[in-house]
Chains A and B, each alone.
Chain A
Amino acid sequence: MKKVLKVLSAAMLSAIVAVSATAVASAAGLNAAEEKVMTELKGGVTLSNGKTVSLPQARINEAENYLLNDVDLTDDQANAIITQIDAAKDYVAQSGAKSLAEIDKDKLMGYAQAASDNANLGVKVSLSGGKVVVSVPSDKTPGSSSGPSSSNDPIKTTGFDVPSVAAVAGVGILMVSAAGIYLAKASKKESVDA
């Protein structure tokens, strides 16, 4: 009887560990609904001059990473997003614009925000310094308070190490200030002696 209990408890423990291990895993790939959204995002739109434009590859990849990571879209959520993507495409196609620069950025951001709101994703789209910033809710991104910004260029500034430069500048300023104070004191002493 004791042996049976031991085997049973070992089996239960194994089952609990197995379930826990599965629960830790968070990424689940792209489901069919998410694939549909990605297909829509990759599709371009034709401007009035016949030129077809599409989203930059980096933005498409960011969307794919977001879907891989944070959410598991349902069909309803995907349809809500696709509706807004199609509406945005229609707006661009019918605007008569010959380049993306002529498109009303606020209007496009409205579609993006509506897509997030309708799908209840909690993503915020805003303009900052003339650039579009996309913020992902912090509960979906434990590593930081916000996700990538759409103003991020692929190639970054990799030669500017702020702490090093700040340290060098700080030491420089201290040395110059000390020299200034010393000169001032010397000058004052000289004048008093005179």
Chain B
Amino acid sequence: MHKHRTSHRSIGGKNFIILPIIFCVLIIGISTAAVYSASGNFISMAQMFFSDGERDFSTGYDNIFVPIEEEDEDEDEDKENSSSERKVVPMSQVEFPSYGDQFGELIIEDCQIEAKLFFNDGVNELNNGVGVFTGSFIPGYGKTILVAGHNNTFFNGLKYAEKGQKVKIRTSYGNYVYEINDIKIVNEDDVDACNLGADYENLIMYTCYPFDELGLTPQRCFVYAKFVSGPALDNKH
């Protein structure tokens, strides 16, 4: 009788500890395989947890964005046609954003996108909105503006992007309009997808592709937009 009870206790212990662990491992394994389509992504995930680099887990940010009155868009576009009339804002009058600051907002009405715009595209910024890569420039500087956003949140609407749609960027020093002129699906390591050395103002937005896939994807959707209107920043003053 005593021997019989001991045997049952042993089975219960096994069920309490080993079975849940096996279930956990199985479910995590299956989920991971389902979520991450490429083997290289496992390495990325491992790097995220085991990297000895400094990681910033702060969730707060400074907001320096003070909306200014929106000018009539048609009037702006007319002005743009005669480029000599483009308004100039001296840099000395601009509060340049620090890394991680919200300094504006990005709106694409046709794509149902309205997101806070940050200077930097780290984890914290992309969890709160979309971010300008600090190796590109802020609107008005006359060069490339590279903006990243998550495909399952703020940039999910890029799936509705079409040529000719308007992109608005509002900042404290000026309101800008761009027009989508190209859309490309490229590999994540395609360095030619964005020209960071352009000497003309252009906006590039990108997110992971496919749009509704949760997790790491090996492709990116790039949406290119040409400058339409907005003040130029004078970096000499």
Q: What residues make up the interface of A, taking CB atoms closer than 8 Å to B?
A: 24-30, 57-59, 61-62, 64-65, 68-70, 128-129, 131, 133, 135-136, 140-149, 151-152, 154-165, 168-169, 172-173, 176-177, 179-181, 183-184, 187-188, 191-192
A61–B136 contact, CB under 8 A? yes
Main secondary structure of the interface of B (DSSP, over half): loop
A155–B31 contact, CB under 8 A? no
A155 and B99 in contact, given A58-B135, A62-B135 (Cβ under 8 angstroms): no
Residues of B within 8 A of A133 (CB): 53-54
A191–B8 contact, CB under 8 A? yes
10 more contacts with CB within 8 A, not counting A145-B56, A162-B123, are A25-B93, A27-B96, A128-B51, A129-B47, A133-B53, A144-B58, A145-B58, A155-B206, A156-B126, A172-B28
In angstroms, Cα B20 to Cα A191, docked, is 19
B98–A176 contact, CB under 8 A? no
B27–A187 contact, CB under 8 A? no
- Most B Cβ at <10 Å: residue of A68, A142, A144: A144
Q: How many residues of B contact A (CB 8 A)?
A: 77
Say how far A88's CB is from chain B's closest CB, in angstroms: 20
Q: List 15 A-B contacts (CB under 8 A).
A: A64-B137, A69-B96, A128-B52, A141-B99, A145-B56, A147-B99, A149-B53, A154-B136, A159-B208, A164-B214, A165-B214, A172-B31, A177-B23, A180-B23, A188-B8
B127–A163 contact, CB under 8 A? yes
